[in-house]
Amino acid sequence: MFEKSHLQQFYIDGKWQSHVTDEQFGEVINPATGEPTDKIAFGSAEDIDLAVRAAHRAFPSFASWKQSERNELVEQVCSVYERRMGDFVDAITAEMGAPREYVSRAAQAPSGLGHFRAAVEAAERLHFRYRQGTAFIVREPVGVCALITPWNWPMNQVACKVAPALIAGCTMVLKPSQAAPYSATVLAEVLHEAGVPAGVFNSVQGEGARLGGALSSHPLVDMVSLTGSNMAGEQVTRAAAPTAKRVSLELGGKSANIILPGANLDEAVTHGVLTMMYNSGQTCVAPSRMLVPMDSIEEVERIARKACATIVVGDPSDPHTTMGPIANERQFKKVLSMIASGQQEGAKLIYGGTQRPDNCPKGFYVQPTVFSRVNNRMTIAQEEIFGPVLVIIPYEDLTDAVEIANDSPFGLSGYVYGADKAQAAAVAAKLRTGMVHLNGAPVDFQAPWGGYKQSGNGREWGAWGIEEFLETKAILGVDEHFSLA
């Protein structure tokens, strides 16, 4: 899968290095069993400094590359990544419990490759140098970037930062989640084999609380890009503020899924339930609030139960499994506490609950769980649960539905399902979210990804993702024939 010794090392300045301080290690837990499988080295502020300084030294040279050269480099990354796809599949299943065939092979591992390919395609359409009025405009790399990523979609979240940073000409230090170290190790090996120059990409494993501040406050870091919790976003922003760094945040979500009157309920409800439960509900854009016409509530409940009954919970290595465990014990306990909160607040539990699935005597398994007749003031309707828990909220009319959907501190994504596509699009236009999916439309790697309100700032994916890593310079007073080689 990958070189085991690399778990006790960091990838800095083009080579695998032991860390510079007294050795500290953390356990990697198999979420399917709850038992440790490996140990990884935990970095310190000194390790971060070593990595940042390597990136700082590498920046002038890499920033001077021609755009075509950087595009070719990322294309080579794609070639190596594709050859090692099986290693990514195995790594993601092992580290966070995603079902190997249904999730890791079908979506998790390929999403990383998708972002590298999309970055090359987007770069070919972007104008990095052009005239505007009397000025010559130059889009230049922002500099040394700190990339901090989560465990729920490990390669998706890493690649959608690393790929545009490489295309833009930035150098970087990646701090992947300590709960998902395997796939990040595979990626470092891929980038090394692909010929990414020494110092351009660096990776230090370890605790987010310990390393996030060291990265965000480092005077040689020019930008921080974080995907994570709202608390982590606040901490990173505060640490970056004294040096006025650029900060890009993709944070939490509590996406509403509005099923319109007249929609095909069998299709809409089934799609909503299965999309919510995919990846064990550990997706920031999961449609966790299903809003349905009040007079359809009983039919919706019936269909939701039927959809949940088709979900196969179990060992992620079993090809028949469609829902694996929660990725770690901390999140497992949070999900169970939120289910208990829903029961205490009086929501109607129509499927699942806090009981462990019968066929899963150990590990961090939770049943697919659905609450109905939920009030939007309930905790389970307002807070991000990040597990396989769906809440069904009845609405009176479309005005009421839009008000409920927007009555959230989050604004990452939204969903609208209706027989009349024009009506669905009109409703989508009223949602205060960065993205809206109509009638089950899938994601598009070339479309911008990001949210409103407390879901963060900035955009990732495609051209928008590259622009996050660029500065804009205006050169004034040049003649009309001026150009930069």
- 57 and 199 belong to one structural domain: yes
> Does 483 map to a domain?
no
Write out the two tokens for 75. Answer: 């294309």
- 181 and 315 belong to one structural domain: no
* Residue 334 near residue 387 (C-beta atoms within 8 A): yes
- 174 and 38 belong to one structural domain: yes
- 33 and 116 belong to one structural domain: yes
Residue by residue, pLDDT tens for the chain (485 residues) are 789 899 999 999 999 998 766 668 999 999 999 999 999 999 999 999 999 999 999 999 999 999 999 999 999 999 999 999 999 999 999 999 999 999 999 999 999 999 999 999 999 999 999 999 989 999 999 999 999 999 999 999 999 999 999 999 999 999 999 999 999 999 999 999 999 999 999 999 999 988 999 999 999 999 999 999 999 999 999 999 999 999 999 999 999 999 999 999 999 999 999 999 999 999 999 999 999 999 999 999 999 999 999 999 999 999 999 999 999 999 999 999 999 999 999 999 999 999 999 999 999 999 999 999 999 999 999 999 999 999 999 999 999 999 999 999 999 999 999 999 999 999 999 999 999 999 999 999 999 999 999 999 999 999 999 999 999 999 999 887 777 76
- 183 and 290 belong to one structural domain: no
> Does 218 map to a domain?
yes
Kindly report the CATH number assigned to the domain that includes residue 318. 3.40.309.10
- 233 and 260 belong to one structural domain: no
- 17 and 114 belong to one structural domain: yes
Q: How many domains does the chain have?
A: 2
- 242 and 292 belong to one structural domain: no
> Does 54 map to a domain?
yes
Nearest CA to 115 among 412, 462, 467, 434? 462
> Does 289 map to a domain?
yes
Among 189, 250, 460, 468, which one carries the catalytic annotation?
250
- 305 and 221 belong to one structural domain: no
> Does 336 map to a domain?
yes
**In the beta sheet, which residues pair with residue 56?**
none
**CA dist 221 → 147, 218, 239 (Å):** 10, 6, 12
Question: What's residue 480's pLDDT?
Answer: 78
Nearest CA to 193 among 96, 185, 303? 185
Instruction: Respond yes or no: is residue 467 known to be catalytic.
Output: no
> Does 450 map to a domain?
no
> Does 445 map to a domain?
no
Kindly report the CATH number assigned to the domain that includes residue 12. 3.40.605.10
SS3 content of the chain, % helix, strand, coil (to 5): 40, 20, 35
Q: Tell me the pTM.
A: 0.97
- 219 and 264 belong to one structural domain: no
Q: Name the residue range of residue 274's domain.
A: 256-438
The residue written with tokens 């970055």 in the block is 119
Q: Count of residues for the chain?
A: 485
Query: Whole-angstrom Cα distance, residue 57 to residue 453?
Result: 37
**CA dist 276 → 256, 297, 331, 394, 464 (Å):** 11, 18, 17, 18, 26
Query: If residue 163 lies in a helix (H) or strand (E), which one and from where to where?
Result: helix 154-168
CA dihedral 441, 444, 450, 455 (to 10 degrees): 40
- Other beta carbons within 10 angstroms of residue 452's beta carbon come to 16
> Does 448 map to a domain?
no
Query: Whole-angstrom Cα distance, residue 81 to residue 72?
Result: 14
- 205 and 296 belong to one structural domain: no
- 32 and 176 belong to one structural domain: yes
Query: Whole-angstrom Cα distance, residue 23 to residue 27?
Result: 13
- Other beta carbons within 10 angstroms of residue 83's beta carbon come to 11
